Amino acid sequence: MSSVLLRVLFLNLGVAAAKLVLGYATGAVSVVSDGFHSLTDGGSNVMAMVGLRAARMPPDVDHPYGHRKYETLAAAGIFIFLLLAVLEIGRAALRSLAHPDRPIVAPLSFAVMIATLLINLWVVRYEAGEGRRLKSELLLADAMHTRSDVFATIGVLVSLTGVRLGFPLLDPIGGAVIAVLIAYTGYQIARETSRILSDRVAIDEHEIHHLVMSVDGVLGCHQIRSRGSADHAFIDLHVWLPAAMPLNRAHALSHVVKDRLIEKYPQIADAVIHIEPPPDER
C-alpha cells in the first residue's frame, strides 16, 4: 500500500506544480485553484503514508485492539486539506470577481490542462483499483479526492474556453465551482470516517444471525454487535447452546461459529462469542 501512495504522490506533485506555474503565469484563477486542489492531493498522500505506518504497529498494552484507527484518522485528515483548499480557492475567486482581470489563455494552457487531466484519470483508476483489492478505506478516500480533481480540471477547461471566447467572468466562476466540488468531496470523506470512528455497524446483524444459525447445534443468538472498517472489523455476540452440553463441546462449537464467521467475512480481526443456554433452559 505504501508503494501505491508513493507513486501517486509523485504524480500529484507533478500535476500540482504544472497547474500552479501555468496559473500564476497566465493569471487564471481557475487554474491556480485547480493547482491548489492537486496540491492537497499530494498533502493527503503524505498524511496517508504517515497514518498507514502508524496503523501497521502491532497491538500493545495501551492499544489492545491495535492501531488501525490511525489509518482512519489519516483519512479524516484529508478532510482538513480539502477545507484549506476551499478557503484559499474561495478567497481567490471572490477577489477576482470584485476586480475582474482577463487572464492569458493560450494553446499551451489547454495542452497542460489536458495532460494533467489524463494523468489524474489514470491515478483515480489505479488507486481505486488497489483500494478495492486491498480493502483499504484510506486508498479509496484518497482516490475519491483525486476523482474530484478530475471534475475540477474539466471545469477549468470549460472556463478557459469561455475566457477564450470573450467571457472573462467564467474564470473566477470556475474557481468557485471547484471550491464547491472540493467541499462536497470533503463532506463524503468526513461522513465515511465518522462512521468508523463512532463505531457504526460494520457487518449487517441479520447476515451474521443467519450464518450463525446455520451451524448445527446452535439454538439461537442475540446481542450481535460489530464495529470497525471495511478491512478490519470486530464483532461480539451471544450464542445459545443446550444447557446439558459439556463445556468442552460447547467451547469447540463456539470455535466452529467463529471459523464460519471469519471464513465468510475475512475482514473480521476478532470475534468474541459468549455461550449461554437458551432462556427456557436456564
Per-residue pLDDT of the chain (282 residues; tens, 9 = 90+): 678 888 888 888 899 899 989 888 888 878 887 888 787 778 777 777 776 676 677 777 887 777 777 767 776 777 777 787 788 777 777 777 776 667 788 888 899 999 999 998 998 889 888 888 877 766 777 787 777 778 878 888 888 888 888 888 888 887 788 778 778 777 877 887 888 777 888 888 999 999 999 999 999 999 999 988 777 789 999 999 998 899 999 999 999 999 999 999 988 888 999 999 988 766
**For the chain, where do the domains classified as CATH 1.20.1510.10 start and end?**
2-197
Residue 57 phi/psi, 5-degree rounding, is -65, 140
| Residue extent(s) of CATH 3.30.70.1350 domains in the chain | 205-281
pLDDT at 275: 92
Q: Check residue 190 and give its pLDDT.
A: 81
CATH superfamily of this structure's domain 2-197? Cation efflux protein transmembrane domain (1.20.1510.10)
The pLDDT score that the predictor gives to residue 55 is 65
- pLDDT at res. 209: 93
- Cα dist from 158 to 30, 80, 121, whole Å: 10, 28, 17
CA distance 282 to 278: 7
CATH number of this structure's domain 205-281: 3.30.70.1350
